Amino acid sequence: MGQGWRRGVAAGLAMGLLAAAAQVVAVEAPRSDADAERFALRAELFEEYPHILPAMMSSANAGFGGDSSRAIANHMYSRTDAAALADARAKLKVEEHGKGTWLLRLPYVNIAVFETAEGLVLIDTGYAPAGPVLLETLRRLSSKPVHTIVYTHHHADHAFGAWALLGAGEKPRIVAAASFLQELGTDVRLANYANVKLNDQDPRDVPRSLDGLVLPTQVFDGESLTLSVGGEDFVLHHARGETADHVWVHVPGRRTVVSADFHQPFLPNAGNGKRRQRYALEWAGAMRAMAAAQPALVLPMHGPAMTTAAEAQDKLGAVASALEAVDRQVVEGLNAGLLQAEVAAAVKLPPELATRPDMEEYYVRVQDIGKMVAREYSGWWDGIPSHWTPAPRVVEARELAQLAGGVGKLVERSAALLETDPALACSLADWALAAAPEDSGVLRAGLAAYANRIRPGVPAQEINVYVAHMAELKRLLRRAEAG
């Protein structure tokens, strides 16, 4: 009776939270012609500026620790994109880590699979294009049904591949943290902003309602939940990290931890300026908890497995130490009266961590993590008095252009700084754009400044921001030239 009662409560909680999430998404985000145009122009930019793709691929971690696919990268919500489906099938690699334990390594992301006496347990299901090859692979690995799916969090690359399993008749229990539905609902509500603009997804693919999505059938509140499947325990731990609904899994009988996105094979993605708040200190605490579980095997959702206890202790501890160091420096800087921007700019990794390969600034810079921590501990105000109620940006920009002797002077100076100070060149191009957004010379100057900013070694998320801005500049330039 106890187990059944608990399942009933959990299912009831899921239904209640689903209803609440549906209220959040009461009005669907309208489709935007401008979004579709920007998405198409983004693809054109890779042809017009052939240095962009090599810059993005200059790191060994260019596939987020795995293989890569441009088709998948921009179609993570699509169940029908032929190129994305084909790449998922062609590039999947299956790793066996002991009897009945597999890590399915797709472009950008992994899925963990455990075979038990009662059926298969999946940790995540990947993105939507992974669905068919996931089904095919599970059928090849085992004759057992899919008993349980655990969603580690709501992101596009983790919780969207189960549709193919359900379409083939599987009826798994699907478990997530209680905050999963609220987080997913927020992304759906902000489809044009969160998923198209900030996540570079095809606007034709992104979900605009919860209808048709494969949602949890059971959620849990609190810090942990133990699931028993086939006589084995799977202990789910909720800790805010990359997302508010983040979950990692301990399988004590196999001395295994599934670390979800808490571990990546590069500097942790705790400073992504295009996502909602990330929680660096709680993230570090989760890493300490994983290490305390003494795993002999760690299966991350990005990058290769850790296959020895020593490797696990070293890498889990390094991430915790890095995040704790950033948090400590931010707290000290804020308490010293520095501006948030000054605090973040001064953040550094400790010397013993800075040269580690798994601390490469592939996706974000350590200063970006500092910005995220400072935001968590602060309000929206950046500490500059005039920014509390500032003059409109266009007014500031036109005044600056007038002081410079005209917008053309800003453009000239931006061009002169391209090689010596590319960051300042982009700032001046931004001011010129704000002052004269329909001036074709200004738009071309912005394209030149940001194209120049994209170089090998620049973090991937930073490059994505620059490419997205260039697509918007191209869109405006076409309008300006068309009259």
Pairing of strands 224-229, 232-238: antiparallel
**Three-state secondary structure call for residue 339:** coil
Q: Would residue 52 count as lying in a domain?
A: no
Contact 192, 32 (CB under 8 A): yes
Q: Would residue 472 count as lying in a domain?
A: yes
- Of 298, 319, 340, at which residue does a domain stop? 319
DSSP assigned state of 77: T
Q: Residue 350: name the closest of 329, 369, 336 by CA.
A: 329
- Of 291, 319, 347, at which residue does a domain stop? 319
Q: Would residue 377 count as lying in a domain?
A: no
Contacts of 195 (CB under 8 A, 6+ apart): 77, 156, 187, 201, 206, 207
Q: Which domain holds residue 172?
A: 2-30+64-319
pTM as predicted: 0.93
Give the pLDDT score at 17. Answer: 59
Give the pLDDT score at 122. Answer: 99
Contact 216, 235 (CB under 8 A): no
**Three-state secondary structure call for residue 146:** strand
Q: Would residue 312 count as lying in a domain?
A: yes
β partners of residue 300: 260
Q: What is the spatial order of strands in the sheet that 247-251 belongs to?
A: 224-229, 232-238, 247-251, 256-260, 297-300
Q: Would residue 370 count as lying in a domain?
A: no
Q: Would residue 367 count as lying in a domain?
A: no
**Three-state secondary structure call for residue 113:** strand
Claim to verify: residue 113 and residue 244 sit in the same structural domain: yes
Claim to verify: residue 144 and residue 269 sit in the same structural domain: yes
Find the largest Cα–Cα distance for the chain. 80
Claim to verify: residue 314 and residue 411 sit in the same structural domain: no
For residue 310 the two structure tokens come to 């020593």
Splitting the chain (483 residues) into consecutive groups of 10 residues, what average pLDDT does each group show? 47 60 63 89 95 96 95 97 98 98 99 99 99 99 98 98 98 98 96 92 95 97 97 98 98 99 97 94 99 99 98 99 99 98 98 97 98 96 96 98 98 98 99 98 98 97 97 96 86
- Of 261, 288, 319, at which residue does a domain stop? 319
CATH number of the domain within which 254 lies: 3.60.15.30
Tally of structural domains, the chain: 2
Q: How far is CA 96 from the centre of its chain?
A: 27
Claim to verify: residue 301 and residue 427 sit in the same structural domain: no
Claim to verify: residue 291 and residue 419 sit in the same structural domain: no
Q: Would residue 407 count as lying in a domain?
A: yes
